[in-house]
Protein backbone atom coordinates (compact mmCIF):
# COMPACT_ATOMS: atom_id res chain seq x y z
CA UNK A 1 0.00 0.00 0.00
CA UNK A 2 2.74 2.32 0.93
CA UNK A 3 4.67 1.52 -2.23
CA UNK A 4 1.73 2.41 -4.45
CA UNK A 5 1.35 5.81 -2.83
CA UNK A 6 5.05 6.40 -3.21
CA UNK A 7 5.06 5.55 -6.92
CA UNK A 8 2.08 7.83 -7.66
CA UNK A 9 3.69 10.54 -5.70
CA UNK A 10 6.90 10.24 -7.72
CA UNK A 11 5.04 10.28 -11.07
CA UNK A 12 3.06 13.32 -10.03
CA UNK A 13 6.21 15.08 -8.95
CA UNK A 14 7.91 14.35 -12.29
CA UNK A 15 5.01 15.67 -14.31
CA UNK A 16 4.80 18.86 -12.29
CA UNK A 17 8.54 19.41 -12.59
CA UNK A 18 8.53 18.87 -16.35
CA UNK A 19 5.57 21.19 -16.78
CA UNK A 20 7.31 23.89 -14.80
CA UNK A 21 10.44 23.43 -16.86
CA UNK A 22 8.46 23.52 -20.09
CA UNK A 23 6.86 26.80 -19.12
CA UNK A 24 10.32 28.27 -18.48
CA UNK A 25 11.51 27.41 -22.04
CA UNK A 26 9.53 30.25 -23.76
CA UNK A 27 12.10 30.88 -26.51
CA UNK A 28 13.08 27.27 -27.16
CA UNK A 29 12.02 23.79 -26.37
CA UNK A 30 12.80 21.66 -23.35
CA UNK A 31 15.31 18.90 -23.69
CA UNK A 32 15.84 16.86 -20.59
CA UNK A 33 16.84 19.21 -17.83
CA UNK A 34 17.70 22.10 -20.19
CA UNK A 35 16.25 24.21 -23.02
CA UNK A 36 17.44 24.09 -26.62
CA UNK A 37 16.60 25.97 -29.78
CA UNK A 38 13.56 24.76 -31.65
CA UNK A 39 15.62 24.06 -34.76
CA UNK A 40 17.85 21.58 -32.93
CA UNK A 41 17.11 17.97 -32.13
CA UNK A 42 16.91 16.91 -28.52
CA UNK A 43 18.94 13.99 -27.39
CA UNK A 44 17.84 12.89 -23.93
CA UNK A 45 20.47 11.85 -21.40
CA UNK A 46 23.12 14.16 -22.83
CA UNK A 47 23.85 17.81 -22.56
CA UNK A 48 23.11 20.40 -25.27
CA UNK A 49 23.85 19.37 -28.82
CA UNK A 50 26.12 22.30 -29.33
CA UNK A 51 28.11 21.49 -26.31
CA UNK A 52 28.21 17.80 -27.19
CA UNK A 53 29.22 18.49 -30.74
CA UNK A 54 31.79 20.97 -29.69
CA UNK A 55 33.11 18.60 -27.11
CA UNK A 56 33.22 15.75 -29.59
CA UNK A 57 35.03 17.81 -32.22
CA UNK A 58 37.62 19.06 -29.82
CA UNK A 59 40.77 17.10 -29.48
CA UNK A 60 43.31 18.06 -26.96
CA UNK A 61 46.63 19.05 -28.48
CA UNK A 62 49.22 16.37 -28.27
CA UNK A 63 51.82 17.26 -25.80
CA UNK A 64 55.03 15.41 -25.58
CA UNK A 65 57.19 16.10 -22.66
CA UNK A 66 60.70 17.06 -23.62
CA UNK A 67 63.03 14.14 -23.47
CA UNK A 68 65.31 14.41 -20.57
CA UNK A 69 68.28 12.18 -20.07
CA UNK A 70 70.04 12.36 -16.82
CA UNK A 71 73.74 13.04 -17.19
CA UNK A 72 75.81 9.96 -16.90
CA UNK A 73 77.61 9.91 -13.59
CA UNK A 74 80.28 7.45 -12.74
CA UNK A 75 81.29 7.28 -9.14
CA UNK A 76 85.01 7.60 -8.60
CA UNK A 77 86.74 4.28 -8.17
CA UNK A 78 87.60 3.63 -4.58
CA UNK A 79 89.75 0.87 -3.29
CA UNK A 80 90.08 -0.03 0.32
CA UNK A 81 93.32 1.10 1.95
CA UNK A 82 94.09 -2.53 2.75
CA UNK A 83 94.11 -3.45 -0.93
CA UNK A 84 96.58 -0.75 -1.81
CA UNK A 85 100.17 -1.78 -1.94
CA UNK A 86 102.22 0.12 0.51
CA UNK A 87 104.99 2.04 -1.07
CA UNK A 88 108.33 0.94 0.15
CA UNK A 89 111.15 3.37 0.29
CA UNK A 90 114.72 2.25 0.39
CA UNK A 91 116.45 3.42 3.48
CA UNK A 92 119.75 5.00 2.89
CA UNK A 93 122.38 3.21 4.86
CA UNK A 94 125.90 4.31 5.30
CA UNK A 95 128.94 3.08 7.12
CA UNK A 96 129.52 -0.47 8.24
CA UNK A 97 125.82 -1.33 8.36
CA UNK A 98 125.29 -0.67 4.62
CA UNK A 99 124.01 -3.83 2.89
CA UNK A 100 126.64 -5.60 0.88
CA UNK A 101 126.68 -8.71 -1.28
CA UNK A 102 128.79 -10.61 1.22
CA UNK A 103 128.58 -10.17 4.96
CA UNK A 104 131.67 -9.21 6.84
CA UNK A 105 131.85 -8.93 10.58
CA UNK A 106 131.81 -5.32 11.85
CA UNK A 107 134.92 -6.07 13.87
CA UNK A 108 137.00 -6.30 10.72
CA UNK A 109 136.30 -2.66 9.91
CA UNK A 110 138.05 -1.47 13.07
CA UNK A 111 141.76 -0.64 13.17
CA UNK A 112 144.01 -3.35 14.56
CA UNK A 113 145.04 -1.10 17.45
CA UNK A 114 141.48 -1.19 18.83
CA UNK A 115 141.43 -4.98 19.27
CA UNK A 116 141.30 -6.41 22.75
CA UNK A 117 143.69 -9.23 23.57
CA UNK A 118 140.78 -11.37 24.78
CA UNK A 119 138.83 -10.76 21.55
CA UNK A 120 141.77 -11.72 19.32
CA UNK A 121 142.69 -14.80 21.38
CA UNK A 122 142.10 -17.96 19.36
CA UNK A 123 139.94 -20.68 20.79
CA UNK A 124 141.62 -24.11 20.90
CA UNK A 125 140.71 -26.66 18.25
CA UNK A 126 140.13 -30.18 19.57
CA UNK A 127 141.42 -33.17 17.60
CA UNK A 128 141.45 -36.91 18.41
CA UNK A 129 144.08 -39.32 17.18
CA UNK A 130 146.52 -42.07 18.12
CA UNK A 131 150.20 -41.48 18.93
CA UNK A 132 152.51 -43.13 16.41
CA UNK A 133 155.97 -41.89 17.46
CA UNK A 134 157.76 -40.16 20.35
CA UNK A 135 160.31 -37.67 18.99
CA UNK A 136 161.42 -36.00 22.20
CA UNK A 137 160.49 -35.66 25.84
CA UNK A 138 157.76 -33.17 24.92
CA UNK A 139 157.23 -33.76 21.15
CA UNK A 140 155.43 -36.66 19.43
CA UNK A 141 153.61 -37.58 16.21
CA UNK A 142 150.08 -38.85 15.53
CA UNK A 143 148.13 -40.62 12.77
CA UNK A 144 146.08 -37.48 12.08
CA UNK A 145 147.39 -35.86 8.88
CA UNK A 146 145.89 -32.50 9.83
CA UNK A 147 147.70 -32.56 13.16
CA UNK A 148 150.76 -34.69 12.49
CA UNK A 149 153.29 -33.34 15.02
CA UNK A 150 152.43 -32.03 18.50
CA UNK A 151 154.49 -30.27 21.18
CA UNK A 152 153.15 -30.07 24.73
CA UNK A 153 151.78 -26.59 25.54
CA UNK A 154 153.24 -24.45 28.35
CA UNK A 155 156.03 -26.81 29.46
CA UNK A 156 159.66 -27.51 28.57
CA UNK A 157 161.24 -30.91 29.18
CA UNK A 158 164.94 -31.91 28.97
CA UNK A 159 166.35 -32.49 25.48
CA UNK A 160 167.24 -36.06 24.48
CA UNK A 161 171.02 -35.34 24.59
CA UNK A 162 170.67 -33.49 27.89
CA UNK A 163 170.97 -35.07 31.35
CA UNK A 164 167.65 -36.70 32.33
CA UNK A 165 166.47 -36.35 28.72
CA UNK A 166 166.05 -40.10 28.22
CA UNK A 167 164.20 -40.48 31.52
CA UNK A 168 161.73 -37.74 30.59
CA UNK A 169 161.19 -39.26 27.10
CA UNK A 170 160.59 -42.73 28.56
CA UNK A 171 158.06 -41.33 31.03
CA UNK A 172 156.12 -39.61 28.20
CA UNK A 173 156.27 -42.75 26.03
CA UNK A 174 154.73 -44.90 28.77
CA UNK A 175 151.79 -42.49 29.08
CA UNK A 176 150.83 -41.89 25.43
CA UNK A 177 152.68 -44.12 22.91
CA UNK A 178 150.22 -46.05 20.68
CA UNK A 179 147.35 -44.70 22.77
CA UNK A 180 144.37 -42.59 21.82
CA UNK A 181 144.68 -38.96 22.77
CA UNK A 182 142.61 -35.80 22.70
CA UNK A 183 144.54 -32.64 21.90
CA UNK A 184 143.39 -29.02 22.30
CA UNK A 185 145.50 -27.13 19.78
CA UNK A 186 146.19 -23.51 20.82
CA UNK A 187 148.65 -22.48 18.14
CA UNK A 188 150.97 -23.71 15.40
CA UNK A 189 154.66 -23.12 14.77
CA UNK A 190 156.16 -22.09 11.46
CA UNK A 191 157.31 -25.66 10.77
CA UNK A 192 153.73 -26.95 11.23
CA UNK A 193 154.16 -28.32 14.75
CA UNK A 194 150.94 -27.93 16.75
CA UNK A 195 151.13 -26.55 20.29
CA UNK A 196 148.51 -28.42 22.30
CA UNK A 197 147.14 -29.46 25.65
CA UNK A 198 147.07 -33.29 25.55
CA UNK A 199 144.78 -35.73 27.37
CA UNK A 200 145.20 -39.53 27.54
CA UNK A 201 143.47 -42.02 29.82
CA UNK A 202 141.50 -39.17 31.41
CA UNK A 203 144.67 -37.37 32.54
CA UNK A 204 146.23 -34.06 31.54
CA UNK A 205 149.67 -35.12 30.20
CA UNK A 206 151.17 -31.60 30.31
CA UNK A 207 150.22 -31.24 33.95
CA UNK A 208 151.36 -34.80 34.75
CA UNK A 209 154.86 -34.11 33.37
CA UNK A 210 155.20 -31.19 35.82
CA UNK A 211 153.76 -33.00 38.85
CA UNK A 212 156.06 -35.99 38.23
CA UNK A 213 159.16 -33.76 38.05
CA UNK A 214 160.04 -34.27 34.34
CA UNK A 215 159.35 -30.78 33.02
CA UNK A 216 159.48 -27.07 33.83
CA UNK A 217 156.63 -24.61 33.41
CA UNK A 218 157.72 -22.42 30.48
CA UNK A 219 156.21 -19.19 31.78
CA UNK A 220 157.02 -16.97 28.73
CA UNK A 221 154.50 -18.96 26.66
CA UNK A 222 152.17 -20.31 29.35
CA UNK A 223 149.54 -17.58 29.72
CA UNK A 224 146.35 -19.55 30.43
CA UNK A 225 144.58 -19.38 33.80
CA UNK A 226 145.73 -22.90 34.77
CA UNK A 227 149.41 -21.93 34.41
CA UNK A 228 149.44 -20.51 37.96
CA UNK A 229 148.42 -23.93 39.26
CA UNK A 230 151.20 -25.54 37.26
CA UNK A 231 153.78 -23.29 38.93
CA UNK A 232 152.55 -24.56 42.30
CA UNK A 233 152.81 -28.18 41.12
CA UNK A 234 156.40 -27.55 40.01
CA UNK A 235 157.31 -26.15 43.43
CA UNK A 236 155.75 -29.18 45.13
CA UNK A 237 157.75 -31.53 42.86
CA UNK A 238 160.96 -29.65 43.77
CA UNK A 239 160.22 -29.94 47.48
CA UNK A 240 159.43 -33.65 47.18
CA UNK A 241 162.44 -34.20 44.87
CA UNK A 242 160.41 -35.99 42.24
CA UNK A 243 161.94 -36.99 38.92
CA UNK A 244 164.89 -34.84 37.85
CA UNK A 245 164.56 -32.73 41.02
CA UNK A 246 166.02 -35.59 43.06
CA UNK A 247 169.29 -35.59 41.06
CA UNK A 248 172.04 -32.99 40.78
CA UNK A 249 173.17 -31.27 37.59
CA UNK A 250 169.77 -30.39 36.22
CA UNK A 251 169.77 -27.54 33.69
CA UNK A 252 166.66 -25.86 32.21
CA UNK A 253 166.29 -26.79 28.49
CA UNK A 254 166.13 -23.15 27.27
CA UNK A 255 169.58 -22.62 28.83
CA UNK A 256 170.95 -25.90 27.50
CA UNK A 257 169.97 -25.03 23.96
How confident is the model over 9-61, as pLDDT tens digits? 767 766 665 555 444 566 667 676 677 767 677 766 544 444 444 434 445 45
Residue 235 binned pLDDT confidence (cut-offs 50, 70, 90)? very high
According to DSSP, the β-strands at 149-152 and 194-200 are parallel
pLDDT at 255: 86
Q: Mind listing the pLDDT tens digit for each residue in 159-177? A: 988 888 899 999 999 999 9
Q: Is 134 exposed, middle or buried (0-12, 13-18, 19+ CB in 10 A)?
A: buried
What's the pTM value of the predicted model, to 2 decimals? 0.53
Residue 140 binned pLDDT confidence (cut-offs 50, 70, 90)? very high
Task: Report how far residue 14's alpha carbon sits from residue 18's, in angstroms, rounded to the nearest whole number.
Answer: 6
- CATH number of the 120-256 domain: 2.40.50.90
Amino acid sequence: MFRKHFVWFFILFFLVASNVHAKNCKKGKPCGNSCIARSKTCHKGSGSSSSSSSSSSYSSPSYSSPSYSSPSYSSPSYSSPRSKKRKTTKRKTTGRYAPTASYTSPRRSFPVDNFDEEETEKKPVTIRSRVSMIDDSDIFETNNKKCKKIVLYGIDAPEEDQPFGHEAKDFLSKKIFKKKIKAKVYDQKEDGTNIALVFAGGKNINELMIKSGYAWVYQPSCDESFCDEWVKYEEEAREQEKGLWGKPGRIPPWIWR
